[in-house]
Chains A and B, each alone.
Chain A
Amino acid sequence: MDPVTLAVLDNRLRAIVEEMGEAMLRTSYSQILNSSRDFSIALCDAQCRLVAQADHIPVHVGAMPWAAKAIAEAFPQPVEGDTYLLNDPYFGGSHLPDLTIVIPVFAEGALRFWSVVRAHHSDIGGATHGGYNPGATEIWQEGVRVPPIRLGEGGGLRDDLIRMLATNTRIPRDFTGDLMAMIGAARLGEQRLKPLLAKYGADGLEAAVSAILDLSEAHARRILAAWPDGEWRGEAFLDDDGFDRVDVAIRARVVKRGDSLTVDLSESDPQTTGFVNSSYPNMRSAVAMAFAFLLDPDVAKNDGAFRPVEVIAQEGTVVWARPGAPVTMCTSHCSNEIVEAIIRALQHCCPERAMGGWGRRFRVAITGQDARRPGRRFVWHLFQARPGGGGSAGGDGWSTSGEWHSAGGLKFGSVEMAEARFPLLFESHEYRPGSAGDGQFRGGLGGRLSLKVESDGPCRANTAGDGVRHGSAGMCGGEDGKPHHYVLRRADGTERVLKTKEVGITVNPGDRVIVEASGGGGWGDPAQRDPAARARDAAEGLV
């Protein structure tokens, strides 16, 4: 294949996923999609190899081909005009709130590509609002399960099926609106691939795709080959599973030989009662995410780039739960801890590429009444007071930029808008001094928030997250960031520490939620830190 045509097609395929992503942003309905961009777009070839993926949320980077594979297995004879849907983590999904639309693209009478769109829905039924149920001990308590289904054929859709699914969610309108946006984006991918297939021929395009994947593989292997060979171990701990287990370990044994890497997670702890277990595709994605973070940013994230990595894991461990176990938390936790364990291992191999730990997610949702809008129940999700990013050889970490799995891709909303629309007062929302892990390059600062609730009558709150026992990991001699510390301060001044996995907390008007978020992990020996940088941190009031 000539290098010019190859370069043109490589650009074109990436532009198609970017255009699909723009269409998704423009047409999605719910906040979680159009503001937080919690969705991913991918093109896979007929063999379900990842060809191109738009950069939205890193946690989905390696997961999408598993959805295409699950569809291909369930429907060995796809027909042009079919639309498929799944969300089940035991059939190609990550966790139940992530719905995935898969559309087959045909040319010259045969399947050539899969156009794949995954998006996090704001509600998927189940026992609690918003999909995160810390009390779940089995997946059936987490929401509606959708194994691979044919949602429509001949370009049409089964309205009855969509109604049935929507009926099982709390906000059917959001569900349907977002589903339509997903289908529209997936169809756009099909429309854009067709002229390419016509112009270059199905065989020509397939040859180009194979060559593009091979080039990415060579790119990744060239980078790997420059690292020293060896075997290293790293472990990371979840705080707890919300039930009786604390310090749940994720253990990575990483072997680097030549231009290949083996990541063995099989020594990780057994699966847990609560929802911090990972599904298999999510675990594969977390490994891919860790690897992608260590490569150069310009390596194309496709099947070729991930070929040098072999993954070994055991079913029944926390990183690969047996069917039936709850897994909703997994795209955050234990996804982040899988990354952390791998980077901990490889910090000894490629220290200049390793980075201090990014924060862990600790979400709070509050629901109640607003006297200014009688009769309308509000539901508010905490996105402010984000944790910090990790330090690296490139410099200090990014402050309040979030978790490893989103890496600065999730936006928190305006405080003014929140106050205008919810009975909440953000008394202060600034950096949390001293939260960053020290190092030659320190972590980013976490946020600190004092939030006063001014609702009409009592509210109820749920939490879902991790990171009050374990801060963001320091790497290469850097120190850990301070862990999260969330407090509920009653109007009468009494306080209690919030746990990361609670349901049904009563919050009364005048109560405050005081959030102190984790800073990022430091990188490198703190003794090596430039004294000028220390002086600047002191002058800036960051320590």
Chain B
Amino acid sequence: MLTYRIGIDVGGTFTDVVGIASDGGQILAKAASTPADQSEGVVNGLANLAKALGLDLASLLARTERIVHGTTVATNALLEKQGARLALLTTEGHRDVIEMREGLKPERYNMRMPAPAPLVPRRLRLPVTERLRADGSVLVPLDPASLDAAIAAAKAAGVEAVAIAFLHAWAAPQHENAAAEKVRAAMPGVFVTTSAEVLPQIKEFERFSTTAVNAYVGPVVSRYLAKLAGRLESAGFAGPLFVILSHGGIAPVEEAARLAVGTALSGPAGGVAAAVALAKEGLGQDLITFDMGGTSTDIALIVGGEAALGRGRDVGGERIALESLDIVTLGAGGGSIGHLGPGGTLQVGPRSAGAVPGPACYGQGGTEPTVTDANLVLGYLDPANFLGGAKTLDLAAAQAAVARLAAQLGIAPMACAAGIHALVNARMADGVRVATVRRGVDPRDSALLAFGGAAGLHATAVARELGLQRAAVPLFAAGLSAWGMLHTDLRYELAQSAIGAGGIPEDAELRRLFDSLEAQGRSRMAGWYQGEVTAKRSADMRYGEQVFEIAVPLDGIDWEGPDLAGQLRAAFHARHRALFTYDLPEEEVVLVNARIAVVGALPMGGAAQREGAGGPAAPLGSRRIAIDGTALEAPVYGFDALAPGQEIAGPALVESATTTVLLRPGDAARMDERGWLDIALH
């Protein structure tokens, strides 16, 4: 009997459900997303998957080994400011940390921009009399009366969650723990979280903000995951439910509820996990993921086969300092609107037609030309066969919308459509350039991995603009995020600050620090998983007077060898040289954070192997398209029908139900037997 693993990706419009069978077969099902309660769309998607497999839902779930889920519940709560009402208990004299935001304000020349409301209003940032020093010693003992007063105020305000964040709790958590115990006892049912538990790292703004976000999204995420688990259970699922986290690894549903802030990037994480899996399959060690959707485009880097991680990011204007995938989001996609900018030039975005009214060609009342409209006018999309024929596009409406803008610009409609297409390509390329140079990566050494509904029409133009040699579009492009969730490991990240007035702790202290972190990590992983577990050590280090730390992998360190501190110093100098071209051997080296990533390797299926039946597929037909001002007749191929090894030279179109790839003149595509269209650019 076949068994299944199932990945579920909840998007803005569709919920994608991918099933991988024990014989390697893969199948994608979709259902409309249900924003009010995402679990409804999830169950509908599962039912559709069951139908496609000729099973009923209960029998599919009974045969399912594991389900991995990507959720946007935390992200949406942050973006829509729909999180829990919370109080912040904090060190007396420092209650404005989260609102001060280190003095930073975005948009230098936007002087009339209103300040955002903080997640916790000042009256619910409640002072507690206590104070630690940076070495963890107690300067002012925790005053029970002030704690009681704060708890009384929080209770009176009827909060659903309490965040506890004290200065220097990264060095010694005892005051926070004592306060948490008292809060839990006094306020049963309230979500309680402490800064030392969420992120035991020095730098109060980042730690306090991350803790406040955890309290803000915690109740919402917990409720949602409990509901989802309940629905799946009553539908017949008895296996483990995992959630993909912002760092690209997965964790059991209980962990995702505890550290809810760690799900803030759960949505786009699946695509990056897929890229890592495809890198292992032989796609290449250095990739740029290019996930172009309707309103935005996510870009991430795979370097040496691994996803680049960053030390934090803002979601919905709130700082989250957890280690997370370094995904750059550009505010442009297929739904972005082309318009005459205030400066008098053509602009694309940041406004988007969204799902309603959508592009003009959707015929739902949209009148402004979007990128999708321009692509339709240029002949790149088939009006009769959009989403596998599920939708018909209104070419005349798209042409009219483009013509209106063309008249404003004083150019021909086809030139205007080509302009929208070219401009969005240029913006994407600029976004990739900044994303790569910021991380010290030369994009020209990488291949562009394009997925998401809109990427295939833009991939080779963007790659050319960047000077890349190669681009790839997986056959599974539209469901790649859900697929990726089934190709990533269990992962638990821990960090601990270890900074004193000196630079690097002594050898014995270093060993103790890393050993204790690793023991904690392994012990938590043992609660989730009995298989093979590996631990990776790294450190955040910097020169004495620098402000930013850099991440230093500590793979080659001999932990029992002599002069451990010296080995760490040498590793840091080498890493600094590799990143910034210079090092400063005379300068003091400071270790700020010790880090451990504990990974439990799950069994994976490989990429979809294409069967080698029959010869090369003939084109389904041809379409008149315009490329760079030239009209030509391009053959149209069915993506699913391409034979392994089949080669196609551009110009051509390759279509499936969920994506279309535009091959430009000079593009040489080959259908790889591992399931992707591999395109060489000449």
Contact = CB atoms under 8 A, between A and B. Distances in A.
Interface of A: 2-4, 6-8, 10-12, 15, 18-19, 22-23, 25-27, 29-31, 34-35, 55-58, 173-174, 177, 180, 184, 212, 215-216, 218-219, 292-293, 295-301, 353, 355, 370, 372-373, 383, 386, 389-390, 392-402, 407-417, 419-421, 425-431, 444, 447, 450, 539-542
Contacts of A419: 133-134, 168
A2 B100 contact: no
Contacts of A386: 103
A409 B343 contact: no
A22 B423 contact: no
Contact of A542 (B110, B122, B341): B122
A34 B102 contact: no
Nearest to A523: B112
Given A215-B345, A372-B501, A411-B103, A8 B112 contact: no
A426 B584 CA distance: 31
Interface stretch (B88-96, B273-281, B529-537, B645-653): B88-96
Contacts of A218: 343-344
Contact of A408 (B92, B108, B440): B108
Q: Which of A397, A398, A450 has the most CB of B within 10 A?
A: A398
B342 A541 contact: no
B434 A19 contact: yes
B419 interface: yes
B499 to A, nearest CB: 5
Contacts of B545: 30-31, 174
A510 B206 CA distance: 30
B238 interface: no
A110 to B, nearest CB: 26
A174 B586 CA distance: 13
B105 interface: yes
A402 B103 contact: yes
Given A55-B108, A408-B105, A542-B122, A3 B409 contact: yes
A444 B203 contact: no
Interface stretch (B59-67, B113-121, B380-388, B631-639): B113-121
Nearest to A14: B430
Given A31-B545, A541-B122, A392 B203 contact: no
B346 A22 contact: no
Contacts of A414: 102, 202-206
B502 A6 contact: no
Given A12-B430, A399-B96, 10 more contacts: A3-B411, A4-B346, A23-B437, A35-B548, A173-B586, A394-B111, A414-B203, A416-B170, A430-B96, A541-B123
B123 A299 contact: no
Contacts of B94: 415, 426, 428-430
Interface in B315-355: 341-347
A297 B343 contact: no
Given A55-B108, A413-B547, A397 B115 contact: yes
A219 B111 contact: no
Contacts of B345: 3, 6-7, 10, 212, 215
Nearest to B425: A8
Contacts of B579: 26
Interface of B: 92-96, 99-100, 102-115, 121-123, 133-134, 139, 167-168, 170, 202-206, 341-347, 409-411, 415-416, 418-419, 422-423, 426-427, 430, 433-434, 437-438, 440, 499-502, 543, 545-548, 579-582, 584, 586-587
17 contacts: A3-B409, A7-B419, A10-B345, A11-B426, A27-B581, A177-B584, A293-B111, A296-B342, A300-B343, A372-B500, A394-B112, A399-B115, A400-B103, A408-B106, A409-B105, A425-B139, A447-B100
Q: Which of B100, B582, B584 has the most CB of A within 10 A?
A: B100
Contacts of B115: 395-399, 444
B437 A22 contact: yes
A31 B433 contact: no
Contact of B202 (A18, A57, A420): A420
A353 B500 contact: no
Nearest to B347: A7
A430 B92 CA distance: 10
Nearest to A537: B122
Nearest to B348: A7
